[in-house]
Amino acid sequence: MEQSELGGFLRSRRALLQPADVGMPVGSRRRTPGLRRLEVAQLTGMSPDYLARIEQGRVAAPSATLIAALARALRLNRDERDHLFRLSGHPAPPAPGSDEHVNRALLRLLDDLATLPALIATDLNVELARNELADALLGEQAPRRCPARSCTYRWFTDPAFRARLPAEDHEDEGRAQVEDLRATVAARPGDRTATDLVRALHVASPEFTRLWDDHDVAVRRSDRKRIIHPLVGLVELDFDVLATTQGQRLIVYSPAPGSDAVGKLELIAALGRESFDITGPGTGP
């Protein structure tokens, strides 16, 4: 690993960003331009000390997952992202189709949506980024390995994940997941990641196989979600895909004007993600 190059590159990218660029408050007494190390650490979920050790060349081999998180936090373009991976001793991620480097334009939109739960996901339903209100609504997600990184896979295999929606909604939700996945697989001819996901679902879930065999197809652009929150109860929200690019989607949850979901969402925002402490790690639908 080119440790001195890696540290210099990370510091230079930090210097190009301001807190407002990543949806953080500006604060006061900023002696140097750009993001502070603490702010980048908060965006990636790592400790400031660990980030400092990476920048100082004292980490032998940062993981690819951690490097991907740094690329997202620093809003790197594709070339910068690939350079960061190579400096860290990892091959650059694969070409579009299975690429999960978050699109910069979608991240900017996500940062602007502070008053509504929003997230960015791939067309295979792998979540790449969320805002704070989405965490508060859905619960933070623990890192997972393929195929469980896909929310579609977890829907058909994880009872705790399904329990976040009322039982009477499960059939419609499962059908919508399968229809959307079929559209994605058709749009990715020969893509191994997509076909591996379908194969794993066939093995793990007879329910998935039953729905898949219907051959229904529909890209999921909007829907209505009824989400069970551990403190405020049932919250009914509109689910809309507001932007798509390079196989990625910006998804926003919004309450109907005048509905009781407006007040519930305000309460969830006030409670924050700590509301999930009573039930353990959350799983977002």
**Chain segment 257-271, per-residue pLDDT in tens:** 999 999 999 999 998
Round the average pLDDT of the chain to a whole number and report it.
86
Q: Tokens at residue 87, please?
A: 């400096």
Report the pLDDT averaged over residues 108-127: 90
Provide the b/e sequence for 29-65 (b: ≥16 CB within 10 Å). Answer: eeeeebbbbebbbbbbebeeeebeebbeeebeebeee
Determine the residue type at 62. P
The whole-number pLDDT of residue 27 equals 67
Where do the DSSP E strands lie in the chain? 118-122, 127-130, 222-229, 233-245, 248-254
Cα 43 from Cα 198, distance rounded (Å): 32
The whole-number pLDDT of residue 274 equals 60
* Residue pLDDT, tens place only, 37-63: 888 998 888 899 999 988 888 887 888
The whole-number pLDDT of residue 207 equals 97
